[in-house]
Amino acid sequence: MLKREAIVFIDGSNWYHNSKSLIGKSKRIDFNCLAKLICEKFDLILKQIRYYNAVPDIKDDKEVYYNHIKFLDKLKKDGVIVKTRKLKYIKKLKIKIEKGVDVLIASDMIRKTLVKKECKVCVLISGDADFIPVMEIIKDSKNEAITCSVINGYARELLQGKFRYLILKKEDLDSCCL
């Protein structure tokens, strides 16, 4: 059987909040290493890595903003395609929320798999069950969507066997820490 090409889609915020329980806030993951590790486990050819996240407003906290931009620039230098939206601040509630990132990921999964036919497999690094509808569309088209995440924050619906999945363990992450 021929190996199939895969594009890895990383839900940055979901990844950060779920993985920090295993690796801490200070360690960084080499996403090229992690994507290769995942593709090896599923016998896939890694075609591309795409990272999605919301960017804070410079007016809210310059240091956080510049650190985030520095991180995204490093990803770009490492060959990762970075797609962003602005982080929204709701003054009434005094909270910051990510808006539109999941839709951006889902639309790119459909575009890359079904419209442009650039891959046969979408590997989603996220534990968010909101992606199930797009994963079903991809599966119905005779392509595949796989999810990967650490167990903390991995939605139960993604682990029920409808899709292939990989629970990333501490040793997997440690092998890809910078």
Domain ranges of the chain: 4-169
Confidence at residue 21, expressed as pLDDT on a 0 to 100 scale: 82
Q: Residues 24, 139: contact at Cβ < 8 Å?
A: no
Confidence at residue 115, expressed as pLDDT on a 0 to 100 scale: 97
Element (H, E) at 6: strand 4-11
- In whole angstroms, what is the distance from residue 70 CA to residue 74 CA? 6
Confidence at residue 1, expressed as pLDDT on a 0 to 100 scale: 62
Confidence at residue 162, expressed as pLDDT on a 0 to 100 scale: 92
- In whole angstroms, what is the distance from residue 90 CA to residue 174 CA? 36
E-strand stretches of 34-175? 44-55, 81-90, 95-98, 121-125, 144-150, 165-168
Confidence at residue 26, expressed as pLDDT on a 0 to 100 scale: 66
pTM of the prediction? Answer: 0.94
4-169 maps to CATH 3.40.50.1010:
yes
Sheet holding 165-168, edge to edge: 95-98, 81-90, 44-55, 4-11, 121-125, 144-150, 165-168
Mean pLDDT by 10 residues, the chain (178 residues): 92 92 80 97 98 88 90 96 86 75 97 97 97 97 97 93 94 91
Question: Residues 73, 75, 78, 79: is their CA dihedral positive or negative?
Answer: negative
